[in-house]
DNA sequence: CAATATTGGATAGTATTGGTATCCAGTGGT
DNA sequence: ACCACTGGATACCAATACTATCCAATATTG
């Protein structure tokens, strides 16, 4: 397809597509002449990826890093995925050379190895500093429950990871991490609402049945 | 204390404090003269709150909304908390008048009421649109597991909510929602690492014991 | 009493980011 | 032969969260 068609099919304005091309996050179409080029489904897919990552707050140059890893995953899949995930937000401002005492305690408690090379360790440390600074520290009780539930989620995530190609595995890992975080956050807020409603308003617990007008309980 | 002391104790530059004062997120100190004012611990606490919320990506004018709700929670605590949480990111761009078919399905499945007035419903719908657009849809299997685990977390969150004052309840709700989201995200990423390590590298499952050089398994 | 430091207040400036718009000239299709 | 379209380059823009500077009044200190 030509650019104009890519524009209307993707919904991305031409100026923006040019911008993505310039920034090297969208691969150029196959040139069929000096002023014509041909784009395919992989361009649509790439645009969806860019949209998703940009929507998750990634600056364009980080997206560039990720698309390069997807386009060219090396031999070591685990390593590649690690680097791709490391590119995701949040981006701390200070240096990351601290001791991570809070994160260490959490990991020790959960029986996970402490490897300061994981950027997520630093993210966890900063997040724990923030909750502490604000007076809602991570108590043992909370840690135990959070750890158990989060691990349950993570195990399922991994179980559902595609095994057909390294490319799709990297994409799955990046997107699964980035785009499911808002899903989890929204579900938690709704669960808060629901639980709070029952506690604060003293309402009875609704059984998990189909509400009126919403009959597709098991529908896709 | 005087401004200069507030500056050094909070670590926030004077120009920034003035900016917060101007924007109405930091309450003015008690004037002790035409060119002097007195600040107290509540100013330090407020600065910590602002830091935490700004760090979570809230624009200053949203922080203003929240501090007003904290300073003046009305009669209806549930309502006030709802409004405060509604002020938190993410901030969708388009209008929010859709049907929320995906969110409805999820809520029906989980036995929670669908109330389009909750902003989190819209957030969930958009998040689900994103995962779908990118080819990792919310399957029933995932939904069931996510729902169960997230509800477990949410129930604990509510159980730990302070009941002493409306003010602190609002603060807890806002901060607990905002600052724990990064904690959950970081913990999930680390759990992914840990599980992936065991699967991809075919390593044996480490029992939750103390790794070498890390003896404080139960230490704070 | 006088010199110095500090304060509140006002205003202007800055850096970053992610686009958007314009212009241009070459060219492919009809 | 003509006109819409293309790639390419460059300029521009809007929002945000500070940051810096200036000013004049007033404490504070010696």
Would you say the C-alpha torsion B187, A178, A182, B109 has a positive or negative sign? negative
A 10 A CB-CB count for A163 gives: 8
Indicate the residue of A114, A121, A131 with minimum beta-carbon distance to B183. A131
B17 has pLDDT over 80: yes
What's the confidence (pLDDT) of residue B201? 66
pLDDT tens across A79-136, in order? 999 999 999 999 887 777 678 999 999 999 999 999 998 899 999 999 999 999 989 9
Between chains, do B145 and A152 touch, taking CB under 8 Å as contact?
A: yes
Helix (H, G, I), strand (E, B) or coil at A137: coil
Output residues with Cβ under 7 Å from nucleic strand C. Answer: A 13, 15-16, 18-19, 32-36, 54, 58-61; B 2-5, 14, 18, 21-22, 28-29, 35-37
Mean pLDDT (whole number) for B200-220:
44
d(CA A210, CA B105): 10
More confident residue, B178 or B216: B178
d(CA A201, CA A142): 25
A215 has pLDDT over 60: no
What's the confidence (pLDDT) of residue A220? 31
What's the confidence (pLDDT) of residue A165? 86
What's the confidence (pLDDT) of residue B186? 96
Under the banding of pLDDT at 50, 70 and 90, the label for residue A209 is very low
- Could you identify the residue written with the tokens 């691990």? A151
Closest CA to B1 of B63, B50, B55, B47: B47
Mean pLDDT (whole number) for B95-113:
90
Under the banding of pLDDT at 50, 70 and 90, the label for residue B216 is very low
* % of residues, chain A, pLDDT over 90: 68
pLDDT tens across B113-164, in order? 999 988 999 999 999 999 998 899 999 999 999 999 999 999 999 999 998 8
Output residues with Cβ under 7 Å from nucleic strand D. Answer: A 2-4, 14, 18, 21-22, 28-29, 35-37; B 13, 15-16, 18-19, 33-36, 54, 58-61
pLDDT tens across A166-185, in order? 888 999 999 999 999 999 99
Q: What is each CA distance from B43 to A18, A132, A218, B1, B6, in whole angstroms?
A: 48, 17, 52, 10, 8
Mean pLDDT (whole number) for A134-163:
95
What's the confidence (pLDDT) of residue B202? 58
Between chains, do B192 and A124 touch, taking CB under 8 Å as contact?
A: no
Residue pair B175/B52 in contact (Cβ under 8 Å)? The answer is yes
Indicate the residue of A188, A207, A211 with minimum beta-carbon distance to B150. A188
B64 has pLDDT over 80: yes
- Report pTM: 0.86
Closest CA to A208 of B106, B124, B141: B106
């Amino acid at each position: 397809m030509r650019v104009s068609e890519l524009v209307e099919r993707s919904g991305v304005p031409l100026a923006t597509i040019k911008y993505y091309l310039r920034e090297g996050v969208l691969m150029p179409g196959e040139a069929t002449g000096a002023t014509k080029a041909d784009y395919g489904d992989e361009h649509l897919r790439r645009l969806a990826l860019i949209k998703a990552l940009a929507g998750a707050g990634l600056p364009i140059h980080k997206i560039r890093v990720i698309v390069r890893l997807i386009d060219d995953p090396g031999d070591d899949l685990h390593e590649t995925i690690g680097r791709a995930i490391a590119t995701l937000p949040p981006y701390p401002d200070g240096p990351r050379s601290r001791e991570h005492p809070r994160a260490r305690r959490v990991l020790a408690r959960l029986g996970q190895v402490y490897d300061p090379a994981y950027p997520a360790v630093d993210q966890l440390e900063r997040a724990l500093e923030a909750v502490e600074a604000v007076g809602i520290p991570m108590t043992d009780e909370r840690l135990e429950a959070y750890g158990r539930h989060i691990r349950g989620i993570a195990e399922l995530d991994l179980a559902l990871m595609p095994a057909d190609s390294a490319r799709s595995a990297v994409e799955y890992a990046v997107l699964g991490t980035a785009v499911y975080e808002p899903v989890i956050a929204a579900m938690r807020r709704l669960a808060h609402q629901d639980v709070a409603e029952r506690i604060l308003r003293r309402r009875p617990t609704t059984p998990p049945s189909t509400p009126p007008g919403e009959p597709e309980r098991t529908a896709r």
